[in-house]
Amino acid sequence: MTAPKVAIIIPARYASTRYPAKPLVEVAGKTMIERVWRVAKTVKNADAVFVSTDDDRIATHAKSFGAEVIMTSSECQNGTHRVAEALTKLAEQGENYTIAVNLQGDAPLTPPWFVEDLIAAMLDDPTCQMTTPGLKLTPDMYKHFRTDRKNDRVGGTTVVFDENHNALYFSKEVVPYLPPEADNWDDVPAFHHVGLYAYTQDLLAKYVTWDEKKLEAVEKLEQLRVLEHGEKIKVVELDDKGRSFWEINNPEDVARVEQIIATEGELV
């Protein structure tokens, strides 16, 4: 049997409503998209890395630091659609990948082992159609979540899952509900959903035929489409190995991420 081939695809768009030109924002001397690409290139169990965009400015910049670029449609509804289109274009060129990883371009603090663990979970279980990571919140990160919500900022996403690690729900609110005293708990029973996905070709082929349902529409979380259409998403618990993780969802997050890099050093 031929071993599955894995492509990491980094979807990047310029025209974000909340934070335009986000992939080209500089973080500690490098753009976000370059930082994410450099992480992806160190992932041991991936066969190829591509940047997928609909914008010439992002494409030109990505090529300047050595990335392979796949141009995709401006009509893509979300990152998963962009990854699916990129995978189709690769197949048309004779490059067939069994598994695609969606490594989002706004998460420059994603350690390579997060991606490696996600791919490993897919390779270890042939019945698994989609995986995504969950990272147990530290008390400090939990307080960041609560602070963002109190200030009406949409920050990171949280996830809850069952005893078999199948996702039950994802939300931009902090779920599950925790009482106010949880701010002082050493062991916070909540998980940060890391914006990273691995899918099979088959799952992506189904995804692009599905319509958006109510939960996805209100939360603006593309992975909810999978749950609302009755498919499973396996949540892989990750070990941060002492590294702090945060995405850049708002301009205010840049300083936070730069401080983490200054304190903990570069990932790669």
Q: How confident is the model at residue 150 (pLDDT cuts 50, 70, 90)?
A: confident
In a domain, residue 86? The reply is yes
In a domain, residue 129? The reply is yes
Q: Considering only 2-16, 86-100, 163-177, which range has the smallest mean pLDDT? A: 2-16
- Work out the average pLDDT over 93-113: 94
Proportion of the chain above pLDDT 90, given as a percent: 80
Overall domain count for the chain: 1
**In this predicted structure, what is the pLDDT of residue 223?**
97
How many whole angstroms separate alpha carbon 59 and alpha carbon 69?
6
The CATH number of the domain where 171 resides is what?
3.90.550.10
Proportion of the chain above pLDDT 70, given as a percent: 99
What is the residue type of 194? V
Whether 43 contacts 78, CB under 8 Å? no
In a domain, residue 1? The reply is no
- Work out the average pLDDT over 143-170: 91
Provide the token pair at 160.
Answer: 């809850």
Residue 158 pLDDT > 90: yes
- The contacts of residue 243 (CB under 8 Å, 6+ apart) are 109, 111, 264, 267
Whether 232 contacts 130, CB under 8 Å? yes
**In this predicted structure, what is the pLDDT of residue 49?**
98
How much is the mean pLDDT over the chain? 94
- Work out the average pLDDT over 91-114: 94
**In this predicted structure, what is the pLDDT of residue 1?**
59
- Work out the average pLDDT over 5-27: 89
Residue 199 pLDDT > 70: yes
**In this predicted structure, what is the pLDDT of residue 216?**
97
* C-alpha dihedral sign at 28, 60, 39, 158: positive
Q: What is the pLDDT of residues 236-256, one digit of tens each?
A: 999 999 999 888 888 889 999
Residue 148 pLDDT > 90: no
In a domain, residue 84? The reply is yes
How many whole angstroms separate alpha carbon 50 and alpha carbon 9?
5
**In this predicted structure, what is the pLDDT of residue 221?**
96
**In this predicted structure, what is the pLDDT of residue 247?**
86
Q: How confident is the model at residue 260 (pLDDT cuts 50, 70, 90)?
A: very high
How many whole angstroms separate alpha carbon 190 and alpha carbon 155?
15
CA angle 173, 179, 184 (to 5 degrees): 100
How many whole angstroms separate alpha carbon 144 and alpha carbon 156?
9
State which residues form the domain around 28: 6-264
In a domain, residue 125? The reply is yes
pTM of the model: 0.93
Q: What is the pLDDT of residues 36-48, one digit of tens each?
A: 999 999 999 999 9
